[in-house]
């Protein structure tokens, strides 16, 4: 079966202040590399617009409506120190949620083997009631909830390899035994969460922090010794990847030293577990990655691996 790529032009209309690392060129860089002949086998679809009720699977409706109300008609509105909204932001974030949900629908119904959502802004810092860290709605969290409510998934595993800890996803699922959240990330680093001692109410939070300067060897060891055994034992019905590529050695927002092959390796290892546990069902949503070359080549390695190459 093919791999699905979801995107939408609206993702480019989320504007940020000059010099902000979370910029439209991130998506343009990914789109350019995915035009290579090696990716001709991708099924490409435009992301639908998620209804507010779908976003509310992971966030209280009052919060969702507050974000809608904050959407400006012109200019930029600052939500927190580094999170802003422009006139195109609301459409972009609703399409981002829609892409994650569409990915779940097509993977869970067997239309495609797996799926990657190339949308921005990212989502994993968005807590239940708080926007932060460039993030407004938590795409991975909505995807997990949608898999449960629409497709009867009993257990969903979210694996996050963004260099920053996904405090939002951890917050949303802290007391939920049906969702495993497993993350490897640099620590200390923004947002300050993600210690190994943070385990959730039902021991379904798994954090494997890496020290600044760590490279592929340490990253793979954290996966092999901590994350992968927990995902395997959890026996998920779906694996959701929060695919941030800012742990790449070129990225200046942090200090890890990963290479494209490391992301491909992690993708392959999760696909192997998915084959054993849940019929190969994997979806991936873009999170961080701010050096354009590092992001593009890492995303390409990730998608090539999803395609089985």
Residue 50 is predicted with a pLDDT of: 98
Distance between CA atoms of 263 and 278, rounded to whole angstroms? 21
- pLDDT of 104 reads 99
Q: What gap in Å lies between CA 105 and CA 98, rounded to an integer?
A: 10
C-alpha span between 234 and 84 (Å, rounded)? 37
Q: What are 64-122's pLDDT values in tens digits? A: 999 999 999 999 999 999 999 999 999 999 999 999 999 999 999 999 999 999 999 99
Average the pLDDT over 113-138 and give the result.
98
Q: What's the average model confidence in pLDDT over 9-22?
A: 98
pTM, two decimals, is 0.98
- Domain positions in the chain are 3-306
Query: Any catalytic annotation for residue 20?
Result: no
Per-residue confidence (pLDDT) for residue 105, from 0 to 100 = 98
pLDDT in tens, 164-219: 999 999 999 999 999 999 999 999 999 999 999 999 999 999 999 999 999 999 99
- The architecture of the domain spanning 3-306 is 3-Layer(aba) Sandwich (3.40)
Q: In the structure, what pLDDT confidence band is assigned to residue 220 with cuts at 50, 70 and 90?
A: very high
When pLDDT is cut at 50, 70 and 90, the band that residue 246 belongs to is very high
- Segment 228-254 mean pLDDT: 98
Helix 139-151 to helix 89-108 angle (10° resolution) is 40
Instruction: Please name the helix (run of DSSP H) or strand (run of DSSP E) that holds residue 95, with its range, or none.
Output: helix 89-108
Residue 309 has pLDDT above 90, yes or no: no
CB-count burial class (<10 Å; 0-12, 13-18, 19+) for 161: buried
Catalytic residue (one of 125, 164, 185, 302): 125
The mean of the pLDDT values for the chain is 98
Whole-angstrom distance, CA of residue 21 vs CA of residue 252:
10
For residue range 274-291, list pLDDT tens digits in order. Answer: 999 999 999 999 999 999
């Amino acid at each position: 079966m093919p791999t699905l790529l979801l995107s939408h032009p609206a993702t480019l209309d989320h504007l940020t202040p000059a010099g902000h690392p979370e910029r439209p060129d991130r998506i343009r860089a990914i789109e350019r590399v995915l035009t290579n002949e090696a990716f001709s086998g991708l099924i490409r679809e435009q992301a639908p617009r998620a209804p507010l009720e779908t976003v509310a699977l992971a966030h209280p409706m009052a919060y969702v409506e507050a974000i809608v109300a904050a959407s400006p008609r012109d200019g930029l509105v600052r939500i927190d120190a580094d999170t802003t909204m422009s006139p195109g932001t609301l459409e972009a974030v609703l399409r981002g949620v829609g892409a994650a949900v569409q990915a779940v629908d097509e993977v869970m119904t067997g239309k495609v083997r797996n799926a990657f959502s190339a949308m921005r802004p990212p989502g994993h810092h968005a807590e239940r009631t708080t926007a932060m860290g460039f993030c407004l709605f938590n795409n991975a969290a909505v995807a997990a909830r949608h898999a449960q409510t629409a497709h009867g998934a009993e257990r969903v595993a979210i694996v996050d390899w963004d260099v920053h800890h996904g405090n939002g996803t951890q917050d949303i699922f802290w007391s939920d035994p049906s969702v495993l959240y497993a993350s490897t990330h640099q620590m200390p680093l923004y947002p300050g969460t993600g210690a190994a001692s943070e385990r959730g109410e039902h021991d379904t939070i798994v954090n494997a922090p890496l020290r600044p300067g760590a490279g592929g060897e340490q990253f793979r060891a954290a996966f092999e010794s901590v994350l992968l055994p927990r995902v395997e034992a959890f026996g998920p019905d779906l694996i959701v990847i929060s695919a941030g590529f800012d742990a790449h050695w070129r990225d200046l927002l942090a200090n890890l030293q990963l290479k494209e092959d490391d992301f491909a390796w992690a993708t392959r290892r999760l696909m192997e577990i998915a084959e054993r546990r849940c019929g190969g069902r994997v979806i991936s949503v873009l999170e961080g990655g701010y050096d354009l070359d590092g992001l593009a080549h890492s995303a390409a390695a990730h998608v090539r691996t999803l395609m089985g190459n």
